[in-house]
Amino acid sequence: MKSMLAVIRRDLLLAMRRKSEVLTALFFFVIVVSLFPLGIGPESALLRKIAPGILWVAALLATMLGLARLFAPDHADGTLEQMALSPSPLGLLIAGKIVAHWITTGLPLVLLAPVLGIQFDLDGGALWILVVALLLGTPLLSLIGAIGAALTLGVRGGGVLLSLLVLPLYVPTLIFGAGAVESHIAGMGAGGHLSLLAALLAVAVFFAPWATTAALRIALE
């Protein structure tokens, strides 16, 4: 666990030195979400209806912006090889990198979402459900994205291939995340959707680091 925490600390320090990469994803999220109310107009009923889908799609795309750089810099400078040769389990070290990616990419989106949700005339209850859904869904996006980033590591044109691999796997998260907010707005309750998101997250926490590690070992050979 000390090795995992050291990897998290290292990646967070590197992210602070490359603030432009982190801010790019945040500005992308803010701009994409803010354009829709400006383009559609002040129709509250329509804005409330489309808000969950827009916020979730924007969060999904913003998360994808940093996936290509999740392992590529460490692969280029030999850090991944050193991690593979270290006595610490590679799966724990990779889990640390995934956690650091979520802290720098997913967590800021969770914090910004309620502020941006006000533009769509969402009430307090809907904003709370949105935050809970994003807290469950954004780690899932990072875990699934890490598998795609590992599979496309070192491949020419890997960015396009990464999108083709990851986007279909993101669909259940998008459906249940946006559906939770829509169900709350419709008065049907969001418990079912949130439970499914939590179940998907539990499965991903167990399998994704292992699958990512296996893909990275293949890429390093």
State the virtual CA torsion across 163, 168, 173, 176 in degrees, nearest 10. Answer: 140
Burial class (CB in 10 A: 0-12, 13-18, 19+), 77: exposed
- Flag whether pLDDT at 101 surpasses 70: yes
- Flag whether pLDDT at 49 surpasses 80: yes
Residue 213 in contact with residue 147, Cβ under 8 Å? no
Query: Of 24, 4, 14, which is closest to residue 108 (Cα–Cα)?
Result: 24
- Flag whether pLDDT at 200 surpasses 80: yes
Taking residues 19-26, report their average pLDDT.
83
The count of other CB atoms within 10 Å of the CB of residue 82 is 11
* pLDDT tens column, 32-47: 998 888 888 778 888 8
Residue keyed to tokens 């290292």: 10
What does the alpha-carbon distance between residue 134 and residue 83 come to, in Å, rounded to a whole number? 31
Structure tokens that stand for 65 in this block? 């912006």
H/E stretch holding 105 reads none
* pLDDT tens column, 159-198: 778 888 888 899 999 999 989 988 888 888 888 889 999 9
- Apex 36 CA angle, 127 and 18, nearest 5: 75
Amino acid identity of 52? P
Question: Please, where are the H alpha helices in 41-106?
Answer: 44-65, 72-77, 79-85, 90-101
- Flag whether pLDDT at 140 surpasses 90: yes
pTM above 0.85, yes or no: yes
